Amino acid sequence: MRFPKMLKPGDTVGLVCTSSCVSAQRVEECVNTVKALGYQVKLADNLAINYGGYMAGSGQARGQWVNRMFGDPEVDAIFCIRGGDGSSRIMEYLDYDLILQNPKIFVGYSDVTNLHLALTQNCGLVTFHGPMVSSNMVDDFDEETKASLYSFLNGEGTVTFQNPKGKEIRVLHEGRCSGRLTGGNLSLLSASIGTPYQVDTKGAILFIEEVCEPMSKIEKWAYHLRNAGLLKQCSGIILGQFTKVTNEECPEYDVIRCLSDVFEGLDIPVVYNVESGHGKPMMTLPMGAMCHIDTKTKSITFEIER
């Protein structure tokens, strides 16, 4: 796995919408926010285009803009403006040979999960499950979210994941394990099964998060992973934020109880309450990096080699 080069003041950040769009006014706010962080900006031209009510242009247009940003020698990093829906349409248009030859910082989450899987597995590139410009930076780029992002974008050696103050990493299954980190949004992980970018869990540590879904869908998607044999291949599991996940019929049967049932019989470490996903603060995780979990010390560490 290859870590991209560090992000320096004055570098150029390419802004893309791989899923849903934002308004023209929001595009301007995103540009101003990234410039205020000390970077130059290049824009894809589809950011404010509304296709089908929930996509930022056609799948081909969105995929080609990802390719153009990776291929542009002036662009040092690629930040997704937001998630949303529709990234599955772009996957057939990604130029993996081009991306492989031009490794760069790539940051996003949620529907961006498809791209994390493809870029880590098909290109050997470490990507970053981290804050997005419109979703996390424009209105409230809090210091803990910012510090977590930069600790991985510019870190070296062994970097320890830090939860926000007052948020303790908790243990569901005890143990120690190591493996490269993979995963992301649960619905996208489930939907990846059977595709060329299906989540590869062999010896990996699987990260899972989700937002605004009923418990019945959490169970369906998680059992799809289990029934496909993917969970038993993991060396460990990290559970992130499950924001606004509900169970109106039986509130005491929460997401941890549901996933405890899903993980029954798995003799691997499982930690939860890891604050990465659709909540605030939103802490960054380097996808594809070598990860180590120790439930005795409740620590998650990563090896960063540039």
Crossing angle between the packed helical segments 255-262 and 215-227, to the nearest 10 degrees: 20
Place of tokens 């589809």: 46
Q: What is the mean pLDDT of residues 219-238?
A: 98
Question: Topology of domain 159-304, per CATH?
Answer: Glucose Oxidase; domain 1 (3.50.30)
Instruction: Check 110, 148, 192, 235 and give the catalytic one.
Output: 110
Helix, strand, coil shares of the chain, percent, nearest 5, are: 30, 25, 45
Residue 80: C-alpha distances to residues 13, 170, 219, 234 (Å): 10, 30, 29, 28
Q: What is the mean pLDDT of residues 50-76?
A: 98
pTM of the model: 0.97
Place of tokens 């798995």: 266
d(CA 204, CA 230): 10
d(CA 291, CA 27): 35
Quick check: is 216 catalytic?
Answer: no
Q: Exposed, middle or buried, 143 (CB in 10 Å: 0-12/13-18/19+)?
A: exposed
d(CA 302, CA 306): 13
d(CA 207, CA 30): 28
List residues bridging with 272 in a β-sheet: 170
- Interval 94-147: pLDDT, tens: 999 999 999 999 999 999 999 999 999 999 999 999 999 999 999 999 999 999
d(CA 221, CA 53): 25
d(CA 297, CA 306): 27
Identify which of 255, 196, 200 has the alpha carbon closest to the alpha carbon of residue 225: 200
φ, ψ (nearest 5 deg) of residue 199: -60, 125
Domain-by-domain residue ranges, the chain?
A: 12-141, 159-304
The pLDDT, as a whole number, for residue 132 is: 98
Quick check: is 278 catalytic?
Answer: yes
* Phi-psi region at 58: left, alpha or beta (left = phi > 0; alpha = psi -120 to 50): beta
φ, ψ (nearest 5 deg) of residue 194: 95, -5
The pLDDT, as a whole number, for residue 302 is: 98
CATH number for the domain running over 12-141: 3.40.50.10740
d(CA 36, CA 31): 9
Instruction: Check 129, 209, 235, 276 and give the catalytic one.
Output: 209
d(CA 31, CA 37): 10
Question: Is pLDDT at 269 greater than 90 in this prediction?
Answer: yes
Question: Is pLDDT at 306 greater than 90 in this prediction?
Answer: no
Q: Give alpha helix (H) positions in 46-171.
A: 59-71, 96-101, 113-123, 143-153
The pLDDT, as a whole number, for residue 228 is: 98
d(CA 107, CA 14): 11
- Interval 137-176: pLDDT, tens: 999 999 999 999 999 999 999 999 999 999 999 999 999 9
- Interval 281-291: pLDDT, tens: 999 999 999 99
Q: Per the structure block, which two tokens stand in for 217?
A: 């869908």
Q: Per the structure block, which two tokens stand in for 93?
A: 């248009």
Residue 62: C-alpha distances to residues 16, 48, 55, 113 (Å): 8, 12, 9, 15
Identify which of 109, 147, 83 has the alpha carbon closest to the alpha carbon of residue 241: 109
Residue 7: C-alpha distances to residues 62, 129, 157 (Å): 24, 16, 16
The pLDDT, as a whole number, for residue 5 is: 97
- Interval 11-62: pLDDT, tens: 999 999 999 999 999 999 999 999 999 999 999 999 999 999 999 999 999 9
Quick check: is 144 catalytic?
Answer: no
